[in-house]
């Protein structure tokens, strides 16, 4: 496999805007899960991982005027994309040769909800709400930066952003591009919160991934993007790559519309494929960033799959959703950036709120100090319908 270099990344989540603030929160073990502040919902009993900025404040950070068209998904995406492009030293003119692949499922639902009662009677409102679908979110995120060579939007539920990374990597491998920008953005909405609440999988306290008494997930929001490049592009531009996307895999066990299979077959196959593509063995992985939603079903299923793959070579495992909540379609790219920070600064990402082990299950890592050098991290993102993806991020 040709090397897929990572030359830039940017992130926004409940624990901070930008990688500097994110790193500080991760190392201080400060969760971003709090009471509702920005989403107008009657469900104040449900803690969430909200980005701690209003839409107005995000527009100010971007240096643009408020615009009714700007969805929260687009605004968060712009902040994360700006950081990634700057770090990769990509200018407006460069983008004309670069594909942009962004993931979302909720899209502009937060703005559409505001017009729900009016949309049947007002042509003007219809014109405005036509901008709320997922593809337009991608266009809005890209808008301030210039014209990309192409844009695509992926939506495979909670594996969406990871699948954006995989799609971009495959484009590089196939010679379709030398550089791609990939990731995802997802905002909270009533549709989002009420839908998961109807499934009865939301915890009324801070989530407890892999804990025996876990009661569900907390929803979150955020965005993250990564710049992927071929070796030829890195040499031509004279940029210094930071990390390598060394392996990836996607599988679908199609066990159930929402539930994971009891034996984690899709997750098992995705992790196995990622290891094989990277040319690595289970004992080569120093840390696993688990999907780890905190639901009874996922944590048991994923735990079985991890144990099937790694056996006696089980490395430290944790879920960072105890920091941010489950950012659904954006989670794969957000957690990929967390893993890059762990590789760069050589620390483990602790599993907050864990107290008691699941019988025969995973015991997550609770401290930051690794036993040795961290060279390879595996990160999981699993979606509804059993669309399961895994990536391996490595030091150079």
The answer to whether 174 and 6 have CB atoms below 8 angstroms apart is no
Distance CA 86, CA 92 (A): 11
Instruction: Return the pLDDT at 157.
Output: 79
- CB half-sphere exposure, 218, CA atoms < 13 A: 30
Q: What is the pLDDT of residue 127?
A: 57
CATH number at residue 382: 3.40.47.10
Contact 382, 305 (CB under 8 A): no
CB-based contact 69:131 (threshold 8 Å):
yes
CA angle 389, 268, 213 (to 5 degrees): 90
Catalytic residue IDs: 158, 291, 326
d(CA 298, CA 307) in angstroms, rounded, equals 14
- Confidence at residue 384, expressed as pLDDT on a 0 to 100 scale: 60
Residue 8: pLDDT over 90: yes
The whole domain housing 303 covers 1-396
53-67, 276-290, 332-346: the lowest-pLDDT one:
53-67
Give 201-242 pLDDT, tens digit per residue. Answer: 999 999 999 999 999 999 999 999 999 999 999 999 999 998
Q: Is 248 helix (H, G, I), strand (E, B) or coil?
A: strand
User: Based on the structure, what is the number of domains in the chain?
Assistant: 1
**Per-residue pLDDT reduced to its tens digit, 16-31:** 999 999 999 999 999 9
pLDDT given at position 129: 65
367: phi then psi, degrees, rounded to nearest 5: -130, 160
Alpha carbons 216 and 364: distance in angstroms, whole number = 17
**pLDDT confidence bin for 284, thresholds 50/70/90:** very high
pLDDT for residue 117 is more than 90: no
User: What is the rounded distance in angstroms from the CA atom of residue 123 to the CA atom of residue 133?
Assistant: 17
| pLDDT over threshold 60, residue 188 | yes
CB 323 within 8 A of CB 15: yes
Q: What percent of the chain has pLDDT over 90?
A: 74
Lowest mean pLDDT: which of 142-151, 172-181, 253-262?
253-262
Answer whether residue 261 shows pLDDT above 90.
Answer: no
pLDDT in tens, 39-83: 988 898 999 999 999 999 999 999 998 887 788 999 999 999 999
* Structure confidence by residue, pLDDT tens digits, 118-165: 656 655 555 566 667 787 889 999 999 999 999 999 988 788 999 999
For the segment 333-341, the average pLDDT, to the nearest whole number, is: 98
Going by their DSSP bridges, the two strands 150-154 and 99-103 should be labelled as parallel
């Amino acid at each position: 496999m040709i090397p897929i270099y990572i030359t830039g990344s940017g992130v926004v989540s409940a624990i901070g805007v930008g990688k500097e603030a994110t790193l500080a929160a991760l190392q201080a073990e400060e969760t971003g899960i709090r009471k509702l502040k920005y989403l107008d919902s009657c469900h104040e009993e449900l803690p969430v991982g909200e980005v701690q900025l209003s839409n107005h404040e995000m527009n100010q950070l971007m240096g643009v005027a408020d615009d009714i068209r700007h969805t929260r998904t687009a605004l968060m995406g712009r902040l994360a994309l700006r950081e990634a492009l700057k770090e990769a030293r990509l200018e407006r003119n460069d983008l004309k040769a670069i594909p942009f692949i962004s993931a979302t499922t909720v899209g502009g639902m937060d703005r559409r909800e505001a017009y729900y009662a009016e949309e049947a009677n007002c042509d003007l409102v219809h014109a405005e709400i036509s901008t709320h679908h997922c593809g337009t979110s991608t266009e809005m995120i890209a808008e301030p930066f210039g014209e990309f060579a192409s844009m695509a939007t992926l939506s495979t539920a909670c594996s969406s952003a990871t699948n954006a990374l995989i799609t971009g990597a495959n484009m590089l491998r196939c010679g379709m591009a030398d550089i791609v920008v990939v990731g995802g953005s997802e905002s909270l909405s009533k549709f989002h919160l009420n839908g998961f609440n109807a499934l009865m999988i939301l915890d009324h306290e801070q989530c407890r991934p892999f804990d025996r008494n876990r009661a569900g997930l907390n929803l979150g929001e955020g965005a993250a993007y990564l710049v992927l490049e071929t070796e030829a592009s890195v040499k031509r531009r004279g940029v210094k790559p930071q990390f390598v996307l060394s392996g990836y895999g996607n599988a679908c066990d199609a066990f159930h519309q929402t539930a994971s299979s009891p034996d984690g077959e899709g997750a098992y196959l995705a992790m196995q494929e990622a290891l094989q593509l990277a040319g690595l063995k289970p004992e080569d992985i120093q840390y696993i960033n688990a999907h780890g939603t905190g639901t009874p079903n996922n944590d048991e299923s994923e735990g079985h799959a991890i144990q099937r793959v790694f056996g006696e070579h089980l490395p430290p495992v944790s879920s960072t959703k105890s920091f941010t909540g489950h950012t659904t379609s954006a989670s794969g790219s957000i957690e990929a950036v967390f893993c890059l920070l762990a590789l760069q600064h050589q620390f483990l990402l602790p599993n907050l709120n864990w107290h008691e082990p699941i019988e025969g299950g995973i015991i997550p890592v609770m401290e930051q100090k690794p036993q040795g050098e961290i060279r390879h991290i595996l990160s999981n993102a699993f979606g509804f319908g059993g669309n399961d993806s895994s990536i391996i991020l490595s030091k150079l």
